[in-house]
Chain A
Amino acid sequence: MNAHVPAGKRRGGHVVRILTIGAHAFTQLARMKVFHFLALFAVLAIASNFLNLPQHEGPESAGAAVLRSIKSWSLGAMTLFSVVIAVAATALLIPKDIEDRTLYTILAKPVPRIDYLAGRLLGVLLLLFVSLLAMDLLMTAVLQARTAIVLGEQRDMAAALGWPHDAVESLLAETRAAGPGWPLQGAVAAVFVRAAVMASIALLISTFSTSTLFTTVVGLLVYFIGHFQADARDFWLQGGEAGEGAAARLASLALALVLPDFQLFNVIDAVIEGSVVPLATLGRLVLAGGYYVVLFTLASWFIFAEKEI
């Protein structure tokens, strides 16, 4: 009997299997030409350079306004692309594996279902990370170049108007603050965390959904509702003082417990306006995001473990 264990073969650990499935999902999505949307982002980032914004302030503020516009367009596009990719890509993977029967061959190997789910999610997160990294590099390059141009124009303007040295330095410092920097990287990290939460929500939906379209639509609906989560929580904490009944309070509580609070990610808007997001705030955001990703992945496992394939 062929009962020997071949050289090099030993039961791989959870991490090895998750990484293998994750790398495979990443390759699958990359070869489906998902990265082509990066070209669209490049066009948007460069186009935002040439926008003529209406002027409500003095000419000295025009440069910083252009830089804010570039950040706003770029981070907006990053949010849109990352959320759509997170939901659509995750919604696609499991139904496709079932339809193609590749799930049979994967789960017929010694692969626990949680490893399969975590691997698929990891693949999407890798895709999001690489996509956001590429977009971040492009945005930073465009901002860097434009900031240098704006600084030059402001120096010329100040010299022509005979501004005192302190005033010139103050203006230049304000412009530099609106340019690329660590707060901007924090905002990109927040975009990634939000997309990761959305991917884990799509993973959960896809474990009981019957189609990719259903998962995508419900996923985007959850994203929309998630922006009202904080309102629901506040309503509950206030104890229904407005006179609503216990049922309404319970519904608000359920909504607040099940759905992540996407208003936490409003720090991105603050960064666009030039604010510096404290590291502690960013840390709390990452922790909250991690909590939701783990929560939804475990919930996915709970359903998928019983799923008959």
Chain B
Amino acid sequence: MSEPVPAVEIRHLVKDFRTSFRRRPLRAVDDLSLTIRAGEVYGLIGPNGSGKSTTMKALLGLMAPTSGSCRIFGKDSLKVDSRDEVGFLPENPYFHKHLTGVETLRFYGRLCGLRGRALDDRVVELLDLVGLTDAGGRRLAGYSKGMLQRIGLAQALVQEPRLVILDEPTAGVDPVGSRGIRDLILALRDRGITVFLCSHLLEQVQEVCDHVGILCGGRIVREGRLDDLISIEDQTEIVIRRAGADLVERITALVGESPGASIVRSGRPRTTLERLFLETTTGKEGGA
């Protein structure tokens, strides 16, 4: 049986930018190769200027590679039809402020070939999905940053793409909105949609991604399954609820009797500040 076509396949991508006549060109991406299988959530992380956005733009055909190739579901990303199945949310999107939320989604839907009843239904569905049903009739000029990010996500999903590319999707969004976007990414994964996420918010990437690539100086320096990359091989973690002092004492003694084993750290695990914030402001548990 043949291998399924990867959602994203980048091979030896190099991107140089011309600076001035005398100086050498600036290499933003240097021989980058990566493959994202269909249905994965892939996080590309790296410091500012490491080449994340350039990689995304090359993948979307917004700029031509100096050398190498990018393919989306097997189609060359420089060809228009490669974008039939792609939704993209750029960093800090502004959109057309003169349009309402509904008009914005209708505009992008029409560009993707949606029309009639199917478009109307899709707009209603998306506004509900991103929690903007009540604000759909308002112009984007009056939207907050978080609302703009959510309408941006909605436009990215308008044609039910099989691949969603998100560039810093939670930049400038408050913790509640950020959690909403995280939940949405997980919901997309559950529906089998591939997500390619660029971010430097490492905690968020850790929460949602299956695979991670670390980009530095335009090169992939580490890549693999998140669990494999961040697990500490020679340590085991057990978290016990309502453990009495007696039980802790017995476990400690048991560990002491085992040759080579030692307790590295014990105590009460801490919640995260984000979880505390969400519980305080929304009254809901902030997730696992």
**Do chains A and B stick together as partners?**
yes
Q: Spell out A's residues near B (CB within 8 Å).
A: 1-4, 6-12, 16-17, 20-21, 24, 27-28, 31-32, 100-102, 104-112, 306, 308-309
Contact in complex: B113, A105 (CB < 8 Å): no
Closest to B188 in A: A2
Return chain B residues, CB-CB under 8 Å to A9: 112-114, 118, 159-160
A-B contact pairs, 22 of them (CB 8 A): A2-B193, A6-B122, A8-B115, A8-B116, A8-B119, A9-B112, A9-B114, A11-B81, A11-B113, A12-B112, A12-B115, A101-B93, A102-B96, A104-B60, A104-B90, A105-B108, A105-B152, A105-B156, A107-B60, A108-B165, A109-B111, A110-B112
**Cβ distance A3 to chain B, nearest Cβ, rounded Å:** 6
Which residue of A24, A32, A109 contacts B83 across the interface (Cβ within 8 Å)?
A109
- Segment 23-44 of B: residues with Cβ below 8 Å from A: 38-39
Query: In the bound complex, how far is the Cα of B160 from the Cα of A1, in angstroms?
Result: 11
Question: Contact partner of B94 among A20, A101, A108, CB < 8 A?
Answer: A101
A309 touches B62 (CB 8 A): yes
Contact A108 B88 (CB under 8 A): yes
Return the CB mask of B162-206 against A: 1 if under 8 Å, else 0. Answer: 100100000000000000000000000001110000000000000
Name the A residues within 8 Å of B93 (CB-CB).
101-102, 104-105
Smallest CB-CB A-B distances: 5 pairs = A8-B118, A108-B88, A12-B113, A308-B63, A31-B98
Interface residues of B, CB < 8 Å — how many? Answer: 49
- Complex Cα distance A12/B95, Å? 22
B143: Cβ under 8 A from any A Cβ? no
* Residue pair A1, B38 in contact (C-beta under 8 Å): yes
Select one of B61, B90, B92, B99 contacting A27, CB under 8 A. B99
Among the listed B62, B94, B98, B192, which residue makes an inter-chain contact with A1, where contact means beta carbons less than 8 Å apart?
Answer: B192
Known A-B contacts A1-B192, A10-B113, A309-B63; A100 and B96 likewise in contact (beta carbons under 8 Å): yes
Q: Which of A2, A8, A21, A104 contacts B88 (CB 8 A)?
A: A104
* Docked complex Cα distance between A2 and B63 (Å): 28
- Complex formed: what's the CA distance from A159 to B87 in Å? 78
Q: How far is the CA of A101 from the CA of B91 in the complex (A)?
A: 9
Instruction: Select one of A3, A24, A306 contacting B107, CB under 8 A.
Output: A24
Q: Does B80 contact A (CB under 8 A)?
A: yes
Chain A residues, CB < 8 A from B191: 2
Q: A residues within 8 A CB of B86?
A: 108
CB pair B62–A108 under 8 Å, yes or no, is yes
Chain A residues near B107 (CB-CB < 8 A): 20, 24
Q: A12 CA to B62 CA in the complex, in Å?
A: 20
Q: Which of B81, B99, B110, B114 has the most CB of A within 10 A?
A: B110
CB neighbours of B64 from chain A (8 A): 306, 308
Bound Cα distance from A174 to B115, whole angstroms: 55
In the complex, what residues of A have CB within 8 A of residue B138's CB? none
- Whether A102 lies near B88 (C-beta < 8 A) is no
Answer whether residue B84 sits at the interface, using C-beta atoms and an 8 A cutoff: yes
Chain A residue at smallest Cβ distance from B84: A110
Q: Could you say which residues of chain B place their CB within 8 Å of the CB of A10?
A: 113
Q: Are A105 and B159 in contact (CB under 8 A)?
A: no
Chain A residues near B89 (CB-CB < 8 A): 105
